[in-house]
Amino acid sequence: MSEIAWFVDNLDDARSDFSVYHRIDEVEHLPAERFAAYVRRLPVYGGAVAHRIRQDAEPAQEPAPAPEEMPWRDIRDLMRTDPLFMGQGTAVDIPAA
């Protein structure tokens, strides 16, 4: 039953794959046996259904924390003193904090 629920929730992806891989635009007109045979094959083709299955299998990742904003003064100091920037902070007009 969960497979049917998954399919209903991802019907647009399945329709897309039916169109691309089986050249079938109206899945509603397929006999049930033919539909079942084709839909079982969709995950192996590497299309939208396979992509959705991979996404669903990946563990949920928490979004990365937003980087802390650096005050302009710190950026100026960094550009003046860090050898990587080789004094570029002196030639760049950065607004005061």
> What are the tens digits of pLDDT across the range 10-23?
889 989 999 999 89
Residue 45 included in any domain:
yes
Largest Cα span, the chain: 74
d(CA 40, CA 31): 14
For 81, the token pair is 């003193």
Residue 32 included in any domain:
yes
Residue 95 included in any domain:
no
Task: Name the residue range of residue 49's domain.
Answer: 1-90
- Give the sign of the dihedral formed by CA 57, CA 27, CA 1, CA 12: positive
Q: What is the pLDDT of residues 87-97, one digit of tens each?
A: 565 555 555 65
Q: What is the pLDDT of residues 15-62, one digit of tens each?
A: 999 999 989 999 889 898 988 888 888 888 989 999 998 888 888 777
For the chain, helix (H) and strand (E) counts, in that order, are 5, 0
Total structural domains in the chain? 1
Residue partners of 21: CB distance under 8 A and separation at least 6: 41, 42, 45, 47
Residue 96 included in any domain:
no
Residue 97 included in any domain:
no
Cβ atoms within 10 Å of 52's Cβ, excluding its own: 19
